[in-house]
Amino acid sequence: VGMPGDNAWSESFFANLKKEQVHWWHFKTVNEARQVLFEYIEVFYNRQRVQKRLGYLSPIQWLKQWQQQTSKLVA
């Protein structure tokens, strides 16, 4: 039995995916849908999209900040 918030991140992700991509496209083929969704997830969502849970940073910005902070701790 899980906790109520266990799926919150995935529910949020899929809501954003539908709102920002799926509802705007009329895919002609399954391959077209795969390509568009791959680009959204791998190019935009995982690298560029600013996210509240990351302090309004993109995942790449957050990762760089985290690496800088942890490298200072190790040094």
pTM exceeds 0.75, yes or no: no
Strand, coil or helix: 57: strand
Please list the pLDDT of the chain residue by residue as tens digits (75 residues): 677 678 888 888 899 999 999 898 899 999 999 999 999 999 998 889 998 989 999 999 999 999 999 998 876
Q: Give the residue extent of every domain in the chain.
A: 8-74
**Spatial separation of the C-alpha atoms in residues 23 and 71, rounded to whole Å:** 42
3-state helix, strand, coil in the chain (%, to 5): 70, 5, 30
Counting beta carbons within 10 angstroms of the beta carbon of residue 51, is it exposed (0 to 12), middle (13 to 18) or buried (19 or more)? Answer: middle
Please count the other Cβ atoms lying within 10 Å of the Cβ belonging to residue 45: 19
What pLDDT, on the 0 to 100 scale, is given for residue 53? Answer: 87
